[in-house]
Amino acid sequence: MNNLNNNLTINKSQSSLADTYLKFQLNEFTYAALPVKYLHEVVVVPVESIPSIPNMPACVLGLINWRSRIIWVIDLPNMLNLETNNRTCRQHKILVIQAESTSLALVVPEIIGTTRLVANEIESPQEKFSSDLVPYLRGWVLQNQEQILVLNTQAILQSAIFHNN
């Protein structure tokens, strides 16, 4: 009985150390997660409501008015150089992220829901992923036989893709 109580205490303390993330798909085989503390809203908008901007990188889909602020709309899988199933869709699933005064609208193919991740279980991305992807990763975790990329929100918000044009 005493051993059972110790196990319950350990599991409970590990759970309290876990942070909440929003889990979503980047393509058919790739899952990712962002800390919910940077997530301000999840919205679905018609494709035609996002005016495109000429002479921008392919991952920049355009601009939207979000709560009286104009913010960039980014095709996240494209930004991360991941192959996508370029199917035509009539609506975009958008994650609005913000840190300090910087906001972005990230388009993702599918939103899965929330998950809890323990910081010390996040593995280093250095030798497992391409050099194009690593700057945008905090790491990765294996959860229920699924590899989940843990994205670095600050790196995405500060990407040179948006600040050099």
Please name the fold of domain 18-163.
OB fold (Dihydrolipoamide Acetyltransferase, E2P) (2.40.50)
For residue 161, the model assigns a pLDDT of 78
Contacts of 32 (CB under 8 A, 6+ apart): 23, 24, 25, 26, 76, 108, 148, 149, 150, 151
Please tell me whether residue 39 adopts helix, strand or coil conformation. strand
Q: What's the CA gap between 161 and 165, in Å, rounded?
A: 7
For residue 45, the model assigns a pLDDT of 94
For residue 151, the model assigns a pLDDT of 98
Q: What's the CA gap between 151 and 11, in Å, rounded?
A: 25
* Sign of the four-CA dihedral 100, 44, 113, 135: negative
Percent above pLDDT 70 for the chain: 86
For residue 16, the model assigns a pLDDT of 60
Q: Mind listing the pLDDT tens digit for each residue in 85-95?
A: 666 788 999 99
pLDDT exceeds cutoff 70 at 46? yes
Structure tokens at 69: 């602020």
Mean pLDDT score, 21-37: 96
Higher pLDDT, 68 or 17: 68
* Sign of the four-CA dihedral 141, 121, 78, 80: negative
Q: Where are the domains of the chain?
A: 18-163
- Dihedral pair phi/psi, residue 78, rounded to 5°: -65, -45
pLDDT exceeds cutoff 70 at 106? yes
According to DSSP, residue 106 is labeled: E
